[in-house]
Amino acid sequence: MPSAPPPAGVLALVNAGAGSAGAPVVRSVIAEMARTCDVELRRTTSLEDLRDALLEGGGRRLVLLGGDGSLHAAVQLLHRAGAALDVGPLGVVPLGTGNDLARSLRLPLDPVAAARVAVTGRARHLELLVDSRGRTTVNTVHAGIGASATARAQQLKRHLGAGAYPVGALWAGVRAGAGYHLRVSVDDEVLADGHRPLLVVGIGLGGTIGGGARLVPDADPHDGVADVVVSTSTGPLARAGFAAGLRRGVHVERQDVRTAKGRVVEVTALSGTFRLNSDGEVTDPQRHERFEMHPDAWQVVCPL
């Protein structure tokens, strides 16, 4: 397939507070895009600044330089403004640590190669998962031990630095005990009734979390449905087996794992509460959530 004509201009956005904002890699990315079109780099300082930049692109192609969190924030702001499609296709240059949506879209993880795709690739429509509070997920949302571990790690990070993450995982493993009593339904069909405790519930548009762990291995961000995985692997040996299969995506072959596809997913705690990890952003504890699939809700520039 021949290359698409380059856009008339590019507005490249990077979070000024991120460690990569002033790095040489950003200069290399801008130089690569400037080979084919005019490029303006804007370092945003807040969510309000990012929203204004997204909505005032002046018809130029918007290219986001950052990780999953930056992309999550941008799409959330556009969705709330009712402009997710109006701004045209978004280019993505992955500069994060996980870059899970980029992996699902088969974007190059090399920033300069991704910059080339951002100006020469093709636009593709993508799904968006929206919960009852209007929060969006562009890649994967999950509840259970992983979300609890991330929440605890974020609380400890100021004191422990990188060591907060293994401590958070250990804390979540102890706190989870025998698992989470969550009822899960997909298009009104019960996937888990909540009586048998769950280790994790994953809802995926893209398939990976944590930089490549294939939590929802069959997810396709273009197929119009969400892929759901629930695991009852709560015993010590079962947890170890689940974790061993997760990286390669073969955990879904286990007898204590069930999968489904659908447009509407509901998660309800029969006891206690749960947190959600949506594209790396962790919510406060809650007892119920409803997710609805919005097909063809926004566009990304993908490889030809």
The span from the CA of 12 to the CA of 125, in Å, is 20
User: Rounded to the nearest 5°, which phi and psi values hold at 115?
Assistant: -60, -40
DSSP state of 130: E
pLDDT for position 4 = 55
pLDDT at 149: 57
The confidence band for 157, taking pLDDT boundaries of 50, 70 and 90, is: very low
Kind of pairing, strands 200-204 and 226-231? antiparallel
Contact 186, 262 (CB under 8 A): yes
Label residue 108 by pLDDT band (50, 70, 90): very high
**Residue 65 corresponds to which amino acid?**
L
Question: Cα separation of 13 and 118, whole Å?
Answer: 13
What span, in angstroms and rounded, lies between the C-alpha atoms of 190 and 13? 42
Backbone angles phi, psi at 123, to 5 degrees: -80, 135
CATH number of 9-120: 3.40.50.10330
Mean pLDDT for the chain?
86
pLDDT given for residue 171 in this prediction: 34
* Identical fold, 9-120 and 136-296: no
Encoded tokens for 33: 């895009």
Between 161 and 195, name the one with better pLDDT. 195
Flag whether pLDDT at 75 surpasses 90. yes
> Cα–Cα distance between 52 and 17 in angstroms, integer?
17
Structure tokens at 248: 């390669």
Among 267, 259, 300, 298, which Cα is nearest to 131's?
Answer: 267
- Domains of the chain, by residue range, sit at 9-120, 136-296
Q: 151 or 260: whose pLDDT is higher?
A: 260
Exposed/middle/buried for 184, CB within 10 Å: 0-12, 13-18, 19+? buried
Burial of 179 (0-12, 13-18, 19+ CB in 10 A): buried
Burial class (CB in 10 A: 0-12, 13-18, 19+), 74: buried
Per DSSP (E only), the strands in 95-135 are: 122-131
With 60 as the cut, is the pLDDT of residue 203 above it?
A: yes
Task: Give 17-59 pLDDT, tens digit per residue.
Answer: 876 656 899 999 999 999 999 999 999 999 999 999 999 988 8
Cα distance between residue 201 and residue 232, in whole Å = 9
CATH of domain 136-296: 2.60.200.40
Average pLDDT over residues 116-134: 95
What would the two tokens of residue 275 be?
């947190």
Phi and psi, residue 195, nearest 5°: -75, -35
pLDDT digits (tens, 9 = 90+) for 227-277: 999 999 888 888 888 888 887 889 999 999 999 999 999 999 999 999 999
Cα distances (Å, whole numbers) of residue 6 to 118, 132, 259: 9, 38, 41
Residue 81 pLDDT class (50, 70, 90 cuts): very high
pLDDT at residue 156 greater than cutoff 50: no
Dihedral, 97, 205, 143, 253 alpha carbons, nearest 10:
-100
* Residues 304, 284: Cα–Cα separation, whole Å: 40
Say which residue, 111 or 147, is predicted with more confidence.
111
Q: Token pair for residue 285? A: 């504890």
